[in-house]
Amino acid sequence: MALLEAHNLTKHFGGLAAVHRVDLTVHDGEIVGLIGPNGAGKTTCFNLLSGFLPPTDGTITFAGAPTLGLKPYEMVARGLVRTFQQTTLFQEMTVLQNVLMGLHQHSRRGLGRVLASWRAFPPDEMARCHEVLAFTGLTAMSEQLAKSLPHGHQRTLGIAMALAVRPRLLMLDEPVTGMNLDESLRVMQLVKTIRDRGTTILLVEHNMRAVMGTCERILVLNFGQKLAEGTPAEVASNPDVIAAYLGPGVSHA
Ligand SMILES: Nc1ncnc2c1ncn2[C@@H]1O[C@H](COP(=O)(O)OP(=O)(O)O)[C@@H](O)[C@H]1O
Ligand SMILES: [Mg+2]
């Protein structure tokens, strides 16, 4: 079943067609990659799909219902959660507190209200946060301030915050950028485990090894338009993709 479906998705910034007439489908249980050169429109697509920007044109359906006009927190309430290309943690809070903030990202309570009731979080919410921390390997750091974590763990904490609400669709914007090889392999394994536990994944990533080794289907954007779509092997051998993006010698192994 199609979980997320966009038709004719378009976003113009003045004269710039950042996203132009893109059709995109993500089925339940898939790991789909969205790739393309810098400026291709990947993050703009994420912003449109997650309610952070209104499209200039086109339709988006999530879990069978149109999403036009829904705010990001309303998308979260429906089960669509995205992370950001730039790490957006609450730097002065602990790791555990960050996950609690993630758990409340769809509530309309402002940050101040969440903080005011800090000591009063119900046991089931605390249990959920500890479960997410254990799952993402952050338990040992739960009382550390977010700002004190190494980069790789900060990025993982961003994923943990998104997972707190048990999303149906998790959209990750460059989750392994800036990580060393070990860290990025660990995060890509985490992505597979998240999917195996029932969360569908849409992933933007520059690291080709990560994308090719993790995604079942890949969509390539170039200058805001869809250039190709297919399995990693199909995309990696597509002459248009090689010319625009991959260059010779990139293997999908
Ligand atoms: N808020 C904005 N206002 C104006 N132009 C934007 C805005 N966001 C993105 N762009 C432009 O849209 C194009 C696509 O950007 P982006 O979606 O960030 O690409 P990618 O994530 O693929 O690198 C770029 O040319 C970028 O400069
Ligand atoms: Mg981007």
CA of 224 to the centre of ligand 1 (A): 9
56-99 pLDDT, tens digit each:
999 999 999 999 899 999 999 999 999 998 878 999 999 999 99
Q: Closest Cα partner for 231 from 214, 245, 249, 210?
A: 214
* pLDDT over threshold 60, residue 103: yes
In Å, what is the CA distance from 88 to each residue of 64, 131, 233?
A: 30, 21, 34
Q: Residues with Cβ < 8 Å from 120, sequence gap 6 or more?
A: none
Find the 100 Cα to ligand 1 centroid distance in Å. Answer: 31
217-222 and 2-13 strand pairing = unpaired
* Closest ligand to residue 39's CA: 1
15 lines ligand 1 (CB under 6 A): no
Which-ligand-closest: CA of 84? Answer: 2
Spans of all domains in the chain:
1-79+167-253, 88-166
Q: Can you give the pLDDT at residue 112?
A: 61
Q: Is the CB of 42 within 6 Å of ligand 1?
A: yes
Residue-wise pLDDT for 30-68, tens only, equals: 999 999 999 999 999 999 999 999 999 999 999 999 998
Q: What is the pTM (predicted TM-score) of this model?
A: 0.92
pLDDT of residue 125: 87
Residue 244 DSSP one-character state? I
Q: How far is the CA of 38 from the centre of ligand 1 (A)?
A: 9
DSSP string covering 97-165: HHHHHHHTTTSS--HHHHHHTGGG--HHHHHHHHHHHHHHT-GGGTTSBGGGS-HHHHHHHHHHHHHTT
The protein residue whose alpha carbon is closest to atom 11 in ligand 1 is: 18
In terms of phi and psi (left: phi > 0; alpha: psi -120 to 50; beta: otherwise), the region of 21 is left
- Residue 43: CB within 6 Å of ligand 1? yes
Cα angle: 140, vertex 148, 130; to 5 degrees: 30
Min mean pLDDT across 65-69, 115-119, 165-169, 205-209 is at 115-119
User: How far apart, in whole angstroms, are the C-alpha atoms of residue 179 and residue 43?
Assistant: 19
- Tokens representing 26? 């993500």
| CATH code linked to domain 1-79+167-253 | 3.40.50.300
Residue 113: band (very low, low, confident or very high) from pLDDT cuts 50, 70, 90: low
Query: Which ligand sits closest to the CA of 174?
Result: 2
Compute the distance between CA of residue 245 and CA of residue 121 in angstroms, rounded to an integer.
48
Q: Which of 10, 11, 16 to mutate to test the pocket of ligand 1 (most atoms within 8 A of CB)?
A: 16
